[in-house]
Amino acid sequence: MKKCFMGDDGLDERQLLLRGDVYKHSLILMMALLLIDGFLRDEGIVWAQGMWGNILIFWAGMGLALVEFILRDILPRSRRQNSLYIFLGLCGLVLAVLIGTSIFIGHEPLIENGALNTRGAGLIQAAVMLGVCLLFIGKRVYDGRRRDEE
């Protein structure tokens, strides 16, 4: 059982400290956004319909964590985890295309009664996914060019 939780994962102390900082930052952001959302709902202000406010808060925390992982060069545990960023971008692209066609064909708004509806929240979610993927690809290209120059 000890091996399951305390296994040697090959990460040095710097990597572990950076990972802890990233998780701390995303947790603080999500807690602050949940607190703000609670205050707004208590005053009768709804900024996203239904559960979409909580989903967007989750994606804000996840987006921050993934962007910080990429920019701080925190190593993934395996090569397969690099494909997570590409998969996330593909999902974001599909989501953006589906919602975009739904909006343009049906001429439906993104905001109803002063709050984001399903399409608006989905479009923001797709933008976060695509942004993380594009940052990952850009960082890989930048690092490759920098290595070639040296």
> The whole model's pTM is what?
0.84
What per-residue string of b and e applies to 37-67 under the rule 16 or more CB within 10 Å gives b? beeeeeeeeebbbeebbeebbebbbbbbbbb
Reading the block at residue 125, the tokens are 């979610």
Alpha-carbon distance of 136 to 66, in angstroms, equals 9
- Cβ contact 130:89 at 8 Å: yes
Read off the pLDDT of residues 81-93 as tens digits, 9 standing for 90 and up: 788 899 999 999 9
Read off the pLDDT of residues 29-47 as tens digits, 9 standing for 90 and up: 999 999 999 999 999 999 9
Q: Could you tell me the residue ranges of all domains in the chain?
A: 13-149
Q: Which residue has the higher pLDDT, 34 or 12?
A: 34
Over range 130-146, report the average pLDDT.
94
